[in-house]
Amino acid sequence: CCHVWNLDSNVVQVLTGHENTLLAMDVSKTGELVATGCSGGTLRIWAMESFQSVITIDDVHDLGLTSCAFKPTENDHETTIVTAGNDADIKVWDFDMKNMNMNLKIVLKGHSAPVMSIAFSTAGNFLA
């Protein structure tokens, strides 16, 4: 499970659904969405308004998902989410909230070991 704290009100919401250890989490720039990933390779996208999982994709990474990041954007309804894993791959996903689907756009290869962390630049044009 994943805990989300509202630091203004001290309210805690628990997001349940992952069956394995939670390793990755990111909040979209607008705060409308949260992405979580686990050691079993599952990626979940959560709507913060309802605290419900809106998309679940299993086996995103064969050896477990280690990191995830939203591309900074003013619109969460059509955005990019990037995942990394123990399989040494980085995957770029197009997310369409209106149609509730995600499509794998590209797989970035080149690492010889697990990718433990990923992050976008503030403008969203670089990924490291």
pLDDT digits (tens, 9 = 90+) for 41-88: 999 999 988 889 999 999 999 889 999 999 987 776 678 999 999 999
Predicted pLDDT at 109: 94
**What is d(CA 20, CA 128) in angstroms, rounded to the nearest whole number?**
26
Residue 105's CB is within 10 A of a number of other CB atoms, namely 13
Residue 91 tokens, joined: 């995957």
Report which of residues 60 and 11 the model is more confident about.
60
Choose from 3-7, 17-21, 75-79, 88-92 the range with maximum mean pLDDT: 88-92
Bridge partner list, 92:
82, 106
**What is d(CA 125, CA 112) in angstroms, rounded to the nearest whole number?**
24
Predicted pLDDT at 76: 64
Q: Are 81 and 95 in contact (CB under 8 A)?
A: yes
Predicted pLDDT at 14: 81
Q: Are 57 and 66 in contact (CB under 8 A)?
A: no
Q: Is 11 exposed, middle or buried (0-12, 13-18, 19+ CB in 10 A)?
A: exposed
Q: Are 98 and 76 in contact (CB under 8 A)?
A: no
This prediction has a pTM of 0.88
Q: Are 34 and 24 in contact (CB under 8 A)?
A: no
